[in-house]
Amino acid sequence: MKRITKYIFYALIAVLFIGTFVYLYIKSRPEPVIYREITVAPADISRTTIVTGKIEPRNEVNIKPQINGIIDVLYKEAGQQVAKDEVIARLKVIPDMQSLSSAQSRVRLAELNLRQAEVDYGRQKALFDKDLVSAEDYDKVLQSLNQAKEELASANDVLEVIRDGVSSSNATSSSTLVRSTITGLILDVPVKVGNSVIQANTMNDGTTVATVADMSDLIFDGNVDETEVGTLEIGMPVIITIGAMQNYRFDATLEYISPKAVLNNGANQFEIKAAVSVQADKMIRSGYSANAEIVLESATQVLSVPESALEFEGEDTYVYLKNADGGFTRTLVQTGLSDGVTIEVKEGLKEGDVVRGSRIIN
């Protein structure tokens, strides 16, 4: 009995040893390499570039006051439409004391001159009625009187404009009223009632009361790398994508390529602009970030294979072409346009050929 148990024990050890050897032998054998098979077929290929930028109105205008003052009333707010010459705000004038004093002095001097002219005119008229002075002398005195009246009226107008912002003789064109210079949408009203504003002059740009833009005429503004700008031409079609509008896409046309580069993040880039065609029912906001897809080159229905099927050696390009016996032969090909995934094959293959693709990993 003990001898049988001993034989069984030795047998189990032998089986375990042989099993381990067989397992290690099987694991050490190389697995068969399996490749995808790709049929050569015609395809449309295009090489594109993506340009980042933003959407903005072609015509955006800052509305500024004609005089210094304080915002008294705001009639419009951001987001509202405004017509050309429509009033956006009304100002309360803060007169410049030096200008006011000078205008008041001019009025007083004009009043003195008018009183003297009236006295001179009265004397000359009495003498003229008695035929004691000539008509020429009378006409000169009358002209002086009319000039004195005109000077007083002009001085009063200047005083009223400086003091009140509008003259009584030209009340319809009051400089206290800030009017839009274009028809469009009000993008921003950066002032509030009570804010002081100043007019534009040679010393400063003046205070912007409102920013108005024509939102029916939009452009895409972006920058393209110098390596690609040479392939761009005015009139090229552009596809614009706005991420904030759930990838809404619309057409545009390239209309401007800057002749001068700008340094952006260490790279030379050129500004481009494209005229945007937007559907009437779509609300596009100024400043939206957008991507412009520009087709640099394209080819229609050309023989193509995936780039992963290519093998490069020096300046030559090869594929592995399937033979009748199921094997693959290394074949020289000439390639053309590539979109980064698919590449055109100009020579070396024909439609229907089967080439070896990427490896299939088990």
DSSP-assigned letter for residue 143: H
Q: How sure is the predictor about 26, in pLDDT bands with cuts at 50, 70 and 90? A: low
pLDDT in tens, 166-202: 666 655 555 778 899 999 999 999 999 989 888 887 7
Nearest to 91 by CA among 203, 209, 256: 209
Question: What DSSP string describes 224-280?
Answer: EEHHHHTT--TT-EEEEEEGGGTSEEEEEEEEEEEEEEEEETTEEEEEEEEEE---T
The structure tokens listed for 160 are: 């009223």
Q: What angle do CA 345, 348, 353 make, to 5 degrees?
A: 85
Nearest to 154 by CA among 191, 202, 111, 188: 111
SS3 state at 13: helix
pLDDT in tens, 96-121: 677 767 877 888 888 888 888 888 88
Contacts of 140 (CB under 8 A, 6+ apart): none
Averaged pLDDT for residues 17-42: 69
Nearest to 304 by CA among 38, 35, 47: 38
- Radius of gyration over every alpha carbon of the chain, rounded to an integer in angstroms: 43
Q: What angle do CA 244, 219, 184 make, to 5 degrees?
A: 90
| Entry pTM | 0.62
